[in-house]
Amino acid sequence: MIVDVSKKILIVGLGLLGGSYARILKRFGFYISAITKEQSSIDYALDEGMIDEGTTELDHRMIGDADLVIFALYPHVFVEWVEQNQQLFKSGAIVTDVTGVKRSIVYKIQEILREDVEFIAAHPMAGREVSGVENSNDKMFSGANYIVTPTDKNTPEAIHTCLELGRLLGFSNVTILSPEEHDEMIGFLSQLTHCIAVTLMTCNDKENMEKFTGDSFRDLTRIARINDVMWSELFIENKDVLLNQMDMFMEKFKELKAMLEAEDIEGMRKMMRHSTERRALFDKK
């Protein structure tokens, strides 16, 4: 479906991600419409030639025209939107999303959605410390991962469409995971790291530390500048996995602390060598 640029794409939520989607997809010639909260975002996007039309209203014609609807909203807003407005979708439309948690979203949406509309979930693993359509850009996804999380309710055609969308958007890696595998992976690589960064940033309010900060501390706390509305919601939506992983981290941290207490220099060195070896796997290729 995607390769056919005569199809119409509606983006709901024109922020950093939605905006970058619009910018990139418009270049391929698709007809792009957008629904978002702020008129200023629509004005900006029209001005930049990123969309063909946009509104802050629930425009029935615009929704009913769309062959592909991309939701770039907070998880609970997305679910509510579908609950309240799904009667407006065109029959045969494909719906996708950008939500950072999957188990709690995918099954719920597929459960409530009309039979003649298909939801295929995806997670573009890309973010910044900034937000808003004004910060969107067309290089946003270079080097990043796009993960499609189908269930047995999805058709091969919709999965294919979603994979192709990821490739069109310029993601370097486009992969399929189950919602469960996705949440396990994202809990560790993204949510646990945000928990750690926020903790490090708030556990010591001593003054004047910033005068002596080097790159290590800055790197570990870059993501401590955090969107509190979105992340608190993502944490709760993946609570069981994240709690386990927080425990796992604490167990290991206690091991290191016990070795330091005992001045077990060989034990610490062994852990550091393991760390060094394993980090090499994660270098940018």
Q: Which of residues 195-254 bind a copy of itself (CB under 8 A)?
A: 195-206, 209-214, 216-229, 231-233, 235-236, 239, 242-243, 245-254
Q: What's the CA gap between 219 and 173, in Å, rounded? A: 24
Q: Which is nearer to a copy of itself, 113 or 196 (CB)?
A: 196
Determine the Cα angle at 205 with ends 201 and 211, to 5°. Answer: 80
The CB-of-122 to a copy of itself minimum distance in angstroms stands at 13
Closer CB to a copy of itself, 40 or 227, in the complex: 227
Sign of the Cα pseudo-torsion (251, 253, 255, 258, in order): negative
Total chain residues near a copy of itself (CB under 8 A): 87
Task: Answer whether 77's CB lies under 8 Å from 48's CB.
Answer: no
Window 147-166: contact mask with a copy of itself (x via CB under 8 A): x-------------------
Q: Cα separation of 170 and 21, whole Å?
A: 10
Task: Establish if 275 lies at the interface with a copy of itself (CB under 8 A).
Answer: yes
**Rounded to an integer, what distance in angstroms lies between the CA atom of residue 165 and that of residue 173?**
12
Residue 256 makes contact with a copy of itself by CB under 8 A: yes
Segment contacting a copy of itself (CB under 8 A): 28-36, 41-49, 140-148, 156-164? Answer: 140-148
**What's the min distance (Å) between Cβ of 202 and a copy of itself?**
5
- Contact call for residue 145 and a copy of itself (CB under 8 A): yes
> Is 269 among the residues that bind a copy of itself (CB under 8 A)?
yes
Q: Please name the amino acid found at residue 212.
A: F
| Beta carbons within 8 Å of 208's beta carbon, 6+ residues apart | none
**Within 12-41, which residues bind a copy of itself (CB under 8 A)?**
none
Query: Measured between alpha carbons, how far is residue 231 from residues 18, 84, 144, 190, 277 in Å?
Result: 18, 24, 20, 10, 31
Question: What backbone torsions phi and psi does residue 69 show, to the nearest 5 degrees?
Answer: -115, 125
268 counts as binding a copy of itself under rule CB under 8 A = yes
Nearer to a copy of itself, 6 or 204 (CB): 204
Interaction residues for a copy of itself, span 100-129 (CB under 8 A): 125-127
Q: How far is the CB of 104 from a copy of itself (least distance, A)?
A: 13
Q: Bridge-partner residues for 96, per DSSP?
A: 70
CB closer to a copy of itself out of 94 and 186: 186
Among residue numbers 166 through 195, which ones bind a copy of itself (CB under 8 A)? 173, 175, 185-186, 188-190, 192-195
- Evaluate the CA torsion angle 37, 159, 121, 87 in order and state its sign: positive
For 256, the enclosing helix (H) or strand (E) is helix 239-261
State how far the Cα of 178 lies from the Cα of 103, in Å rounded to an integer.
Answer: 9
The residue (of 37 and 222) whose beta carbon lies closer to a copy of itself is: 222
